[in-house]
Every structure is written in C-alpha cells, then in structure tokens.
Structure 1
C-alpha cells in the first residue's frame, strides 16, 4: 500500500512539472503568437518589447518608438471575460489624447479576444478611488475562442462600482459575423450610444491598406483643410509610407493621424488614417451595410 502511495505521488509530481514546463514554454512563445494576431491589423511588436516582457518575468513589458509607445501587462481584473493580457498602443506625440486614450488589444494567453479603444473614466461623484481608471469605449472587435467576430460598441457611461466601471458597457448594436462577412445576428442593446461608434487609431504602421469608403479625400497637405488631389473609391489599395502624427477627429469617421500614402499609379498624398483598414482588419463599412439588409429581412428595427 505504501509503495503504491509513493508511486502515485511520483506520478503527480512528474505531471505537475511537465505542465509547469509547458506553461513556461507557452509564456516564452506568447509574443510570437501576439505578433501573428496583430499583423492582421499591421501592428508589430519590436524586439525591445519582447526583451522587456521576458525581463519582467512575463508580467509586463514595452517599447518606445518615435512618437509612440507599445506596452503589455498581465491583468487580473478581467478573468471573468477570459482575458489575462492587455497590449496598449499609444500616441505620445499628441498632448490631447496622450496616455488617456489608447488602442487596446486584449488576449487570453495567445488568443486575441478584443480590440477597442480605452478612455479616461470621468466619475460624476468625483470619487478619488475611481480616478485615472481607463474604460473600454468606442468601436470594438470581439473574437470568440474560434476566432469568430462580433462588431460592437462600448459606451463610457456613469457607473456605481469598480467592477461595473471596468466591464464592457454595450450600446447601440452588436453584429455577429460569419464566413465571408455573412451576417448571423444583429443584437440591439438597451443603451443608445451617447457618442458615435467610430474607431480610434493612435498611429498607423507602414504597409498595405485598403480604403474603407467611397470618396475618401486624398489631400496635398496633412490636415482636413488641405487641397484635395483626388477622391479614392472604396477598396482602393494604397501603400502607407509615413505617419505624420497629426491627429484629427472627423465626424462619422473617427480619430486618427494623417498618413502619407502612395497609390498604385505612383501618385502620393495624405489620407486620414480612419479611411484605411489593414488587409486582415474587418471591413466595417461592408459589415454595417449587410447588417442593415439583414435587419430589413428579419424585421429588426435599429436606433
């Protein structure tokens, strides 16, 4: 009996060490998995990011690049959402948004769960303990564990408790998307969005992009009053050459920097960054158009 007990203990110890080694190996591989997921949106993670992540025992890390910052942290607050890592992308060149507004990618280990923006929570009661909390807001890409997409919107509304403040506060509609952008469901939420459900891009990296809507203004200068050189049609392919870090909010479009792009015919100019989507990024314009058709077919009323 004693020998059997010892044998079982040895087996338990062996498998415990085996699982522990697998866990460590998985942590060492996390950045490569994140790189693959984020490459769909043309976001990269430099070597410095990976080195600092390992240096701080896979709890946090980051990297500074010109006019921007990328950082990661292990988080405990979103266990009920299946989230344990948060990667932030910040525009350090803009004094208006700065560190208060970020693009955040949330992961369950190596799996991408959510991409949305975060903004500073403004508590109407001015409670000190709730100051400097960043909450999810604006347009959101939600992914299940099989990688299926739901396009949603979060609102920065007043809430009572800490758990309510940091949770996802849905507003408007959530659109569940299937293969080849087939609309599977449109869910209307209780809250109507207080603000436009538009994206926030702190910066854009070099690479190939597609124009998100018709009549996108290609300008000679990098601001909304610049002379229009050409109107680009939806799905036009452009090469992003440089981010100017000159940020603007445009009604109905979102917040982003003006970027310098090159067209297929060799022409160059400046586009507002929210006119662009990376090759692996959801085609929000198409999804919303098809969602409207789905609602008409199924007798669903929107806001």
Structure 2
C-alpha cells in the first residue's frame, strides 16, 4: 500500500468550551498534547465534531492558530473550513490556510441539494483558492446530498491539491470505485469508526475519527493492524471498542464524545445551542462503557 500525505489516524477534534461558552484555549492545548503523545497522524479542529456551525470566523482562526502553535510541527494540522455557500466556503478555506492549516477539510454543500455539476463547481472554486491540500468530506446522512465517486475522481484528476476524501456514505460500491479508480495522490479515508477494519482491508488509507478523541492510541493501533495485515489483532481491537464507536452516535455528534471527555477529566461538558447535554439514560450507558474500558 502506497504512503500518501494524508493517511493513517486523524482525529476530528472537539472544541472545548468554558462555562461562559467561550473557547477553552487551555483545554484545547492539552488536547493537542494528548494527540501528539498518542501518535495521532493528523489533527482536525473546526470540523463538524468541533461544532463548526457555531464558531465565528474569528474563533475559527484563533482555534486553528492555537492548534498549530501547540503542535510545533509534531502532527499534521488540517482544519474544517466548509459550508453550503461556495463563496463563504472559499473565505473559510483561505482564512484557515492563513491561520496555519496544512490541509482543508470541506464538507459537501448541505441542504441546497446541488447537482453533481454544482458540487464539482463548489470544490473547484475552493481548490483554486488555496494552495494547501483539500479533503472532500462526503457525509450524505448529514448533508442531504451524495458526492458521487465520479465527481470526486473528476476533481482529484483535475486539481492536484484535492488529495483526500473523507468518505462517510457507507456505500461499499462507491468506496470500492474510489479506491480502485483513484489517481495515485488521492487518499481515501473513512469517516466512520465502525468501518475502519473493512474499509482499510479494502485498500483505504485511514480514518478521520470521532473515537480518536477518547482513545487515540487505540484507533491508531487498529488502523496500523489492518494496514499490516494483522487481522486477528485488528478484530480484537475492533471488538473491544465496537460499543464505544456506536455509543458516540447514540445522540447527535459531538454530544456523546464531549460528555465522555468530560467524564475523563479532559474538558468541561459544555455545548453551544442547538446542542444540549445527553439524556440521563444515555449518560448511564456511556458511563458503564467508559468504566469497562478503564477510561474512568
């Protein structure tokens, strides 16, 4: 398997807030150090797991700058910079690059339901506006539209800085088409922790993970085990963390993972509306799983 620039275990980083709902910069710096120590390959602030729809432009810039400073070149810093207005998405991408992002994660334009040509034009404008690599984020369950494999392949072939796709469609046929027909520089990453084992076994390059917020070294070990063909080890790791992968989506992401991180003593359990705390019933279930894994 060839080594591509954007591959391995990437964390879709949460944004820690203080009780007044301002960004908790101290906690953010601690999270970066946690991931450096765990061997996470790529750290991605300001994505949807980072509650990006609730962040101002100034906050986005400051968060990326803080993560970049704390990383000190020890981990690749990509950054979420997507929205459903192409003009605004271009601005966000440019600001993220100025803040120090080494790559841009740009979600497919949601709600608008553009045609495949509209999606192509959206990403074309973004790719031409920045010099850093662009990661296409395809998550139909959230956006209401699917970025077809043919559109992703067209973009990757025409723009050298479209170097990865975060593919969260769970469409095996589409995933295989991407893996088998991609240009050499295109990384194909899963956006689903529960898909890590089969996805990489099919030839995928890694994961952009929610669970890596809680168990970064274990997610990295799972990725590496599959890549090396150590399937018994991979199956054991997958079985151990399967319930956690599922529980992280028992309510809208990132509510469960932020609750877990708060229980682990890493951040405060603070969200920005319209997200609210997890139900008491689901907190009990999450607590039991965290305890069984030795995380609390």
Whether the TM-score (by the shorter chain) exceeds 0.5 is no
TM-score, length-scaled by structure 2: 0.30
Q: TM-score, normalised by structure 1?
A: 0.30
Higher normalized strand content (fraction of residues): 1
The structure, 1 or 2, with the larger RCO (C-alpha pairs under 8 Å, 6+ apart) is 2
Structure with more of its chain in helix, by fraction: 2
